[in-house]
Amino acid sequence: MEPIVPAPDALIGRRFDVAVAKMTGESRSKAGHLIDSGQVRLLHRPCDRSTTLLAGDMVEFALKAEVKSPEPIAEDMAIAYEDDDVVVVDKPVGVAAHASAGWTGPTVLGSLLQRGVHITSYGAAGRQGIVSRLDVGTSGLMLVCKSELAYREMRRQFAEHEVVKTYHAVAQGNLRQDRATIEAPIGRDRVSDFRFTVTPAGKPAVTHWDVLERFGEATLAKINLETGRTHQIRVHFSSIGHPLVGDHMYGANPKLAEELGLERQWLHAMELEFRHPRTHVWTHVKSQYPADLAHALDVLRARAAEREP
């Protein structure tokens, strides 16, 4: 952008922060920061965010180059399976699938690239090679494509629900049935758009679960998804009155999480089964519980044993 430009006719009469946002393509809050810090100002007269832009105003830009810190590497992210076409990582909690606005922590994609793992260029910028994601707060297996052939084929397999994704989760309370299916549409919450909820206006979502172990106050279950909606397991279990232990966003008891030493929801992507994109051999990759989830299970088992007569 030129250092000094005349106020655009279409923005005359607008607040200065609104005009700067339009001129730079930044958010209004970012535009306000640029004005407050003196990086954008009006020549020949004082101004602030609320100043009205007038005909004949000259806008001066003195933008400072942003120095971005290098993305940290997830050193403890193990590789569970790798060949020339795909790599399956065992993602730790606290690692995002890819970079996004406001996220400054490690990512699966960034960590693989910094380790020298070749990733296909197919896919959206900053998300290349990724055909399925895990939340930052969910640990476990996640597949990334290294070749163009793998990207096309694995994207198809995930889209057509041919990939078998098995999760283990600990739900609060005692699930009444040993096996059941939750079928309920999921959409964004109208009040808090970062949350999701069961709503008739949502997209179809189907979750199957089988009980693995009962503790009385909580239940360990194996879960398979027919669909892959955001927060699907968390929302579905909360909708039946059994939020995942440690999942405060969806109604879990924070006291129980504290007693179990949990700082996130008890949810782990345990197994991944798919047809290899090149050889077509059925491939099965399995994970193990990370330390925090294993510890929580040990505590639950000990508490259950204490309650037995």
CA distance 189 to 166: 26
Which value, in Å, is the radius of gyration of the alpha carbons in the chain? Answer: 25
Taking the whole predicted model, whether its pTM rises above 0.85 is answered as no
What's the CATH code, domain 4-61? 3.10.290.10
CA distance 89 to 269: 11
- In this predicted structure, what is the pLDDT of residue 23? 86
C-alpha distances in Å from residue 170, one per residue of 184, 205, 231, 243: 20, 20, 15, 9
Nearest of 157, 124, 137, 300 to residue 228 by alpha carbon: 157
The backbone region for 3, taken as left when phi is positive above 0, alpha when psi lies in -120 to 50, beta otherwise, is alpha
Q: What pLDDT score does 124 carry? A: 85
Distance CA 4, CA 19 (A): 14
> C-alpha dihedral over 119, 122, 128, 131, to 10 degrees?
-100
Ranges of each domain in the chain: 4-61, 71-154, 161-309
Side chain identity, residue 135: D
pLDDT mean values, one per 10 residues, the chain (309 residues): 80 92 85 92 93 92 76 94 98 92 87 96 91 94 98 96 96 97 94 88 96 98 94 97 96 96 97 98 98 98 90
User: Domain 71-154 belongs to what architecture?
Assistant: 2-Layer Sandwich (3.30)
Distance CA 59, CA 81 (A): 55
Strand, helix or coil for residue 52:
strand
Cβ count near 36 (within 10 Å): 12
Q: Quick check: 209 and 180 in contact, CB under 8 A?
A: yes
CA dist 255 and 22 (Å) reads 47
Question: Looking at this protein, which amino acid is placed at residue 34?
Answer: L
Task: Report the DSSP pairing between strands 218-225 and 86-91.
Answer: unpaired
Report the CATH number of the 161-309 domain: 3.30.2350.10
Are both 71-154 and 161-309 of the same fold? yes
- Catalytic (active-site) positions: 135
Structure confidence at residue 292 (pLDDT): 97
pLDDT score, position 101: 66
What is the rounded (10 degree) CA torsion for 207, 127, 291, 137? -60
